[in-house]
Amino acid sequence: MISHLRTMWLVFRHLFQKKVTVQYPEEKVPLYPRWRGRIVLTKDPDGGERCVGCYLCAAACPVDCIALQATENEEGRRYPEFFRINFSRCIFCGYCEEACPTYAIQLIPDFEMAEYNRQDLVYEKEDLLIDSQGKYPGYNFYNVAGLDAGVKEKGKGEDEETPVDIKSLLP
Amino acid sequence: MTVMQHIWIVLGVLFVFLNIAAGLIWVERRLLALWQDRLGPNRAGPLGLFIVLADTLKLFFKEDWIPPFADKWVFILAPAIVVASVLMGIAIIPFAPGIVVADLNVGLMFFLAMSSLGVYSIVLGGWASNNKYSLLGALRGASQMIAYEVFMGLSLMGVVMLSKSFNLTDIVNAQKGLWFVVTQPIGFVVFFIAGLAETHRLPFDIPEAESELIAGFHSEYSGMKFGMFFIGEYLGISLISAMTATLFFGGWLGPAFLPPVVWFFLKTFLFIGLFILLRASLPRPRYDQLMGYGWKLLLPLVLLNLLVTGAIALWLRS
């Protein structure tokens, strides 16, 4: 009986405690930088697309919501011809971000993407591409890659030695 | 009192109590939420008060389905019984001097009779649903009501002894000097516990017991028929709270700076709050614990209370 009364008193005291409710549309939930929300495609420091159209994200996606078609420009730089994410399928697992070798695809802290029309949840490349470097500022894939795709010449990248002439006998 | 006055009182009491019962939807949800560190419904209307309207409209527009295997007429009758019997019980409550629907000289007996009739709605509802969970709930409800009805009546006999009347107006007037909660503390506690069981509210809601019996005796009910059980439960809370205030806390009596009706409703709402606090804090006992608690602890206790009260009353008279 005493424990019952004590329980009632303890519950009653909760009347004056701080409420945990977040009144959502007016108050926002704090979202942290690594929160996995809307998917974006980021850009290089010099404004080029980071995506090289390697299909690794599409392969990693467990729900097959990513579709893309790779193509090449005249300098030999690969980029996606179209890049489509169906957000009505997406489960925000972040596997695409893990799979991406060029840090192009990234998940950002934003979840307010409700639509009235289901078709509006299919995001095209122009919806996904943002004018930002995302979580990796200063990173440019072609600076560390061996390939000459118009960003730098062969042998001029970071930690890259000049090419060796394999046909020559000179050291 | 003229006939017109009487009709006005009847309509007023009906209006007030049905509105309290509906408003308790909001009160209960808000209070429960606050005690669980939440805010509760606060969107529709000022302070979320229109949730009552929305809930009622929702209940009216829901499909009112009678299962083909149910006993149709009994199924329809059962929810009406609970509301009718509780409303009949409210008729004998004196709200203020002169404001009472039926000033019966056997008022207390009438109240006990009406609250016992409420068990028929549970039994008939559970039986007519033709569903094993409903029947189990009805069985539990019947045995719980029988057990707790016994000492609900007995716990009030101390009050009757002290006030020498079954009339509720007389009982309130007998508390002018001292409220009966002081002279009959055991009677009050036992009456309140029995009242909880009588309205099958949460610590004693084993006829419903969501986690064991889906929804117990009203598993098969939907739409406004379920709503009637719902309203019946809230009316029952109001009735037991009002009776507790009347019998043990001096009804309308109180310092003169507030009118008697206000005192009455203040006390009533205090007990309604207590009902909800009990729901928020205490877990449901096992079925055998409930019965054992009733027959082995509360019944001897209330008999002892009766004996001692009678002895003291006799001693005071001699």
Q: What is the pLDDT of residue B202?
A: 78
Residue B176 lies in a domain: yes
B35 neighbourhood in chain A, CB within 8 Å: 11-12, 14-15
Closest by CA position to B237, among listed B277, B200, B281, B184: B200
Residue A41's DSSP bridge partners are A105, A129
* Neighbouring C-beta atoms of residue B315, cutoff 10 Å: 8
| A59 pLDDT above the threshold of 90 | yes
CA A126 to chain centre: 15
Alpha-carbon distance of A59 to A78, in angstroms, equals: 18
pLDDT tens-digit map of B198-235: 888 878 887 777 777 777 788 888 888 888 888 888 88
| A56 pLDDT above the threshold of 90 | yes
User: Using CB atoms within 10 A of its CB, is residue A62 exposed (0-12), middle (13-18) or buried (19+)?
Assistant: exposed
Alpha-carbon distance of B141 to B123, in angstroms, equals: 7
Q: Do B282 and A23 count as a contact with CB atoms less than 8 A apart?
A: no
The boundaries of the domain holding residue A43 are: 30-136
Alpha-carbon distance of A160 to B287, in angstroms, equals: 79
Q: What is the pLDDT of residue B178?
A: 82
Residue whose pair of structure tokens reads 């209307």 in the numeric block: B45
Q: Which stretches of chain A sit within 8 Å of chain B by CB?
A: 4, 7-8, 10-12, 14-15, 17-21, 23
| B51 pLDDT above the threshold of 80 | yes
Q: What is the pLDDT of residue B45?
A: 80
Helix or strand (DSSP H, E) at A39: strand A39-41
Regarding pTM above 0.80, the answer is no
Q: What is the pLDDT of residue B158?
A: 84
Q: Do B39 and A21 count as a contact with CB atoms less than 8 A apart?
A: yes
Closest chain A C-alpha to B276 CA, distance in angstroms: 10
Q: Dihedral of the CA atoms A98, A102, A105, A107 (nearest 10)?
A: 50
Lowest mean pLDDT among A61-75, A155-169, B28-42: A155-169
Residue A21 lies in a domain: no
Contacts 24+ apart (CB under 8 A), A135-139: A135/A33, A135/A103, A135/A106, A136/A42, A136/A103, A137/A45, A138/A45, A139/A44, A139/A45, A139/A103
Helix or strand (DSSP H, E) at A123: strand A122-123
Residue A69 lies in a domain: yes
Q: What are phi and psi of B85, to 5 degrees?
A: -65, -40
CA A90 to chain centre: 13
A20 neighbourhood in chain B, CB within 8 Å: 37-38
Model confidence at A97, pLDDT cuts 50, 70, 90, reads very high
| A139 pLDDT above the threshold of 80 | yes
- Residue B3: which residues within 8 A CB-CB, separation 6 or more? none
Residue whose pair of structure tokens reads 């997406």 in the numeric block: A90
Q: Do B39 and A19 count as a contact with CB atoms less than 8 A apart?
A: yes
Say if residues A146 and A157 touch (Cβ distance below 8 Å): yes
A12 neighbourhood in chain B, CB within 8 Å: 35, 277, 281
Which of B169-178, B252-261, B264-273 reaches the highest mean pLDDT? B264-273
Q: What is the pLDDT of residue A58?
A: 92
Tokens for B189, please give them. Answer: 């506690």
Calculate the alpha carbon distances from B68 to A93, B128, B131 in Å: 47, 11, 12
Q: Which stretches of chain B sit within 8 Å of chain A by CB?
A: 34-39, 277-278, 280-282
Nearest residue of A to residue B280 by CA position?
A: A11
ipTM: 0.73
Nearest residue of B to residue A17 by CA position?
A: B37
Three-state SS at A130: coil
Residue B10 lies in a domain: no
Residues in chain B, overall count: 318
Closest chain A C-alpha to B318 CA, distance in angstroms: 37
Residue A51 lies in a domain: yes
Q: Which of A5, A21, A23, A24 to mutate to probe the B interface, most B CBs <10 Å?
A: A21
Say if residues B31 and B23 touch (Cβ distance below 8 Å): no
Residue B42 lies in a domain: no
What is the CATH classification number for the domain harbouring A65? 3.30.70.3270
Residue A75 lies in a domain: yes
User: Using CB atoms within 10 A of its CB, is residue B198 exposed (0-12), middle (13-18) or buried (19+)?
Assistant: buried
| B78 pLDDT above the threshold of 90 | no
Closest by CA position to B122, among listed B145, B147, B141, B144: B141
Q: Which of B35, B42, B189, B202 to mutate to probe the A interface, most A CBs <10 Å?
A: B35
Average of per-residue pLDDT values in chain B: 85
Model confidence at B124, pLDDT cuts 50, 70, 90, reads confident
Model confidence at A117, pLDDT cuts 50, 70, 90, reads very high
pLDDT tens-digit map of B135-157: 888 888 888 888 888 888 888 88
Residues B61, B65, B71: CA angle, nearest 5 degrees:
145
Helix-, strand-, coil-residue percentages of chain A, each rounded to 5: 20, 15, 65
Residue whose pair of structure tokens reads 């009804």 in the numeric block: B251
Q: Do A12 and B35 count as a contact with CB atoms less than 8 A apart?
A: yes
Residue B45 lies in a domain: no
Residue B250 lies in a domain: yes
The boundaries of the domain holding residue B189 are: 66-317
Alpha-carbon distance of B246 to B236, in angstroms, equals: 15
Three-state SS at A86: strand
Say if residues A130 and A43 touch (Cβ distance below 8 Å): yes
- Number of structural domains chain A divides into: 1
Q: Do B39 and A15 count as a contact with CB atoms less than 8 A apart?
A: no
Q: What are phi and psi of A70, to 5 degrees?
A: -85, 150
Residue A14 lies in a domain: no
- Number of structural domains chain B divides into: 1
Residue whose pair of structure tokens reads 């009632």 in the numeric block: A8
Residue B47 lies in a domain: no
Q: What is the pLDDT of residue B176?
A: 83
Rg (CA), chain B: 20
B37 neighbourhood in chain A, CB within 8 Å: 14, 17-20
